[in-house]
Amino acid sequence: MGKIKKLLVANRGEIALRVMRSAKEMGIKTVAVFSEADRAALHVQFADEAVCIGPPPSSQSYLVMDKIIGAAKETSADAIHPGYGFLSENEDFAKKVKEAGLIFIGPSAESMEIMGSKLGAKAAVSKFNVPLVPGTAEPISDVNAAKKVAKEIGYPILIKASAGGGGKGMRIVEKESEFQEQMERAVSEAISAFGDGAVFIEKYVSQPRHIEFQIFGDQHGNVVHLFERECSIQRRHQKVVEEAPSSVLTPELRKKMGEAAVNAAKAANYYNAGTIEFILDEKLNFYFLEMNTRLQVEHPVTEQITGLDLVKLQIQIAEGAKLPFKQEDLKINGHAIEVRVYAEDPANNFLPDIGVLKTYKRPQGHGIRVDDGFEQGMAIPFYYDPMIAKMICHDETRERAIEKTIRAIDEYEITGVETTLGFCNFVMHHEAFRSGNFSTKFVESYFKPEYLKGQSTPEEEMIAGALAAELILSVPQVQQAVSTQSSESKWKKNRLA
Ligand code: ADP
């Protein structure tokens, strides 16, 4: 296998930059790929070389395997890192990369195939003593047979698409009379989203928490876990705030879940970085949900509490190295919280609100990390995921990490688009979040867009500030009293509005 000298990153935005930064520190040359919409993007500027792989839609660029492998050949790269999203969990891509004589930075195509289907994954891990949500082991197509199973499991139940992802093809059924209609809907949603209508039934766990474990394996059979991440603050079944460690896990439960996560990875002969997702019910029983066979968006919270660089570790493992530590060497240091800054309008059902970043100023200071892919003045392309940045705050305790996050959100200045920052601020102040007593139902239970009205955005503050300044300055006594020195920077800021 040998050392990697040049790495192509088959992705864009913050994750492409994040991967390239670690590669650069390791003395590895970097190659960016980009669509026509991303010509001026930061990942293109950062890379040693960059190759245009087609028009803006990802189906014609970031998802075209042959163009990406062709770019790697053309630039003599010897490895490809897929990032997350796009082709990262596509086993055919992993296979093709290998067949082209290149190193794929991730697990084997075989492991990806096992974990790629939710039912296949459940079947594999059940042999390794990993608890599953009660449900059917096989896809089910006959409505009457399915109804019988649902009755045995007990309502409410969840109908899920085996090929599912992104919350699609998932239907909650509260009672038997709704069953047929919901099953038909789940099947047709699964066919249109995944081209595969296979569905199965699970017990619906009410008020669950989403707790996932970061695992890492090498190609010599060693697997460890790097503790958990709590990702229960979600909208549309997608995460917005993540933290590590979780405030509800005792050391005993952490050990038990960690062992189950390592076993689940072993069930697929897994190596490189992966995530085992569990749900935790109110009685702290945990159940395997699925495995993500790639680096997660929220991996920085794990990096902050373990002090490890997960991308460097991924590269070393892909080169054939053994894991440089054992389970007992790993310790949790402090607490980390990540808030995802999306160009979305929380007051309008979290719908994307793309546009130009008129003002873009990152927070700074002790324990604050911002992973992003934009500068002030740049436009957020309409073709891709509208995430602007991830902000990660690390401190000694959960309380301090929350206080730091509030301070950093306050310092973050973004105008030109609506963002999730105000919503994240709402979360940080909410009693349920602060006490640690919350579930995936947080948004549904507590959030009303009106709550954001009290919090003014930096832009509103500037407009208000400018108006107030005009009023005050029109009063003659004040005109005299205002010293030009002290007002200079403030008025400059106001003029931005
Ligand atoms: P997807 O792959 O579509 O993201 P997952 O199986 O990972 O689907 O589930 C996404 C989210 O849906 C979970 O984080 C959890 O909030 C909820 N969920 C999934 N399965 C159940 C279940 N059996 N009971 C309750 N909630 C569930």
CA separation for the pair 490, 469 (Å, rounded):
10
Please check whether residue 89 is in contact with residue 294, taking contact to mean a CB–CB distance below 8 angstroms: yes
Q: At what angle do helices 310-318 and 299-306 cross, to 10 degrees?
A: 100
Q: What is the best residue among 279, 298, 440, 444 to mutate for testing ligand 1's pocket, by most ligand atoms within 8 Å of CB? A: 279
Q: Is 229 a catalytic residue?
A: no
167 lines ligand 1 (CB under 6 A): yes
Nearest atom in ligand 1 to the alpha carbon of residue 161 is 3
pLDDT at position 165: 76
CA of 158 to the centre of ligand 1 (A): 9
pLDDT at position 488: 31
Q: Kindly tell me the sign of the dihedral angle through the C-alpha atoms of 117, 123, 124, 128.
A: positive
290 lines ligand 1 (CB under 6 A): yes
- The residues with which 371 forms a beta bridge, in sequence order, are 390
228 lines ligand 1 (CB under 6 A): no
pLDDT at position 360: 98
Alpha helices by DSSP H, 133-243:
143-153, 179-194
pLDDT at position 496: 31
158 lines ligand 1 (CB under 6 A): yes
Q: In 3D, which of 266, 285, 280 has the Cα closest to residue 224? A: 266
Structural domains of the chain sorted by starting position, each given as residue range(s) with its CATH number in brackets: 6-105 (3.40.50.20), 143-203 (3.30.1490.20), 209-446 (3.30.470.20), 458-496 (no CATH)
pLDDT tens-digit series, residues 311-334: 999 999 999 999 999 999 999 999
173 lines ligand 1 (CB under 6 A): no
Which residues touch 267 (CB under 8 Å, ≥6 apart)?
114, 124, 125, 127, 128, 130
pLDDT at position 469: 52
Q: What is the best residue among 158, 212, 289 to mutate for testing ligand 1's pocket, by most ligand atoms within 8 Å of CB? A: 289
b/e map 78-116, b = 16+ CB within 10 Å? bbbbbbbbbbbbbbebbbbbeeeebbbbbbbbebbbbbb
305 lines ligand 1 (CB under 6 A): no
CA of 94 to the centre of ligand 1 (A): 26
For Cα atoms 485, 488, 492, give the angle at the middle one, nearest 5 degrees. 175
Q: Which pair of tokens denotes residue 392? A: 């990660």
Question: Could you tell me the mean pLDDT of each successive run of 10 residues in the chain, 497 residues long?
Answer: 93 98 98 98 98 98 98 98 97 98 98 93 94 92 91 94 81 94 92 89 94 98 98 94 98 98 98 98 96 98 98 98 98 98 96 97 98 98 96 98 98 98 98 97 95 62 52 43 33 29
What does pTM read for this prediction?
Answer: 0.89
Q: Name the catalytic one among 294, 340, 362, 398.
A: 294
pLDDT at position 481: 37
For Cα atoms 443, 333, 313, give the angle at the middle one, nearest 5 degrees. 90
